[in-house]
Amino acid sequence: MAFPTDLEIAADARLRPLEDVAADAGIPPGCLEPYGRGAAKIDLSAVELMSDRPKAAYVVVTAITPTPLGEGKTTTTVGLGQAFAHIGRTATIAIRQPSMGPTFGIKGGAAGGGYSQVVPMDILNLHLTGDMHAVTAAHNMCAAQLDAHIFHGNELGLNLHSITWRRVLDVNDRALRNVVIGLGGRLDGVPRESGFDITAASEVMAALALSTSLGDLRARLGRIVVGYTRSGDPVTAEDLKAAGAMAVILRDAIKPNLMQTLEGTPALVHTGPFGNIATGNSSIVADRVGIRSAEFLVTEAGFGADMGAERFFNIKCRYSGLAPDAAVLVATVRGLKAHSGRHRIVAGRPLPEALLEENPDEVHEGSANLRKQIENIRIHGVAPVVAVNAFPEDHDADLAAVGEVAEACGVRWAVSHHFTEGGRGAAALAEAVTEAASEPGGFEVLYPSEYSLRQKIECVAKRVYGAEGVDYSARASREIDTYEAAGFGDLPVCIAKTHLSLSSDPSLRGAPTGWRLPVREVRASVGAGFVYPICGDMRTMPGLGRAPAAQGIDLDAEGRIVGLS
| 2-54 confidence digits (pLDDT tens) | 789 888 999 899 999 999 999 999 999 999 999 988 999 999 999 999 999 99
Q: Which pLDDT band holds residue 383 (cuts at 50, 70, 90)? A: very high
Question: Is the confidence at residue 348, as pLDDT, over 80?
Answer: no
Tens digits of per-residue pLDDT, 411-441?
999 999 999 999 999 999 999 999 999 998 7
Cα–Cα distance for residue pair 445/40, rounded to 1 Å: 34
Question: Is the confidence at residue 125, as pLDDT, over 80?
Answer: yes
Domains, the chain, ordered by start: 6-21+35-130+253-437 (3.40.50.300), 131-249 (3.30.1510.10), 453-534 (3.10.410.10)
**The pTM of the whole model exceeds 0.85:** yes
Q: What is the pLDDT of residue 207?
A: 98
Within a 10 A sphere around the Cβ of 233, how many other Cβ atoms? 12
Q: What is the pLDDT of residue 70?
A: 80
Asked if residue 191 lies in contact with residue 183, where contact means CB atoms within 8 angstroms, the answer is yes
Question: Is the confidence at residue 244, as pLDDT, over 80?
Answer: yes
Q: Which of 65-79, 391-405, 406-420 has the lowest mean pLDDT?
A: 65-79
H or E, element range at 530: strand 530-534
Q: Which pLDDT band holds residue 85 (cuts at 50, 70, 90)? A: very high
Q: What is the largest CA-CA distance in the chain?
A: 71
**Which residues neighbour 334 within 8 Å (Cβ) at sequence distance 6 or greater?**
67, 345, 351, 355, 356, 391
Q: Which of 274-278, 391-395, 427-431, 475-479 has the lowest mean pLDDT?
A: 274-278
Higher pLDDT, 142 or 70: 142
Name the nearest CA neighbour of 295 among 78, 83, 86, 54.
Answer: 54
Tens digits of per-residue pLDDT, 320-347?
999 999 999 999 999 999 998 888 877 7
Asked if residue 138 lies in contact with residue 110, where contact means CB atoms within 8 angstroms, the answer is no
Q: Which pLDDT band holds residue 350 (cuts at 50, 70, 90)? A: confident
* % of the chain surpassing 70 pLDDT: 100
Q: What is the pLDDT of residue 341?
A: 85
Tens digits of per-residue pLDDT, 276-316?
889 999 999 999 999 999 999 999 999 999 999 999 999 99
Give me the chain's average pLDDT, please.
95
Q: What is the pLDDT of residue 67?
A: 83
Phi then psi for 16, rounded to 5 degrees?
A: -80, 150
Question: Is the confidence at residue 1, as pLDDT, over 70?
Answer: no
Tens digits of per-residue pLDDT, 89-105?
999 999 999 999 989 98
Note the residue count of the chain: 565
Q: What is the pLDDT of residue 217?
A: 98
Mean pLDDT of 461-476: 97
Cα–Cα distance for residue pair 302/403, rounded to 1 Å: 23
Question: Is the confidence at residue 190, as pLDDT, over 70?
Answer: yes
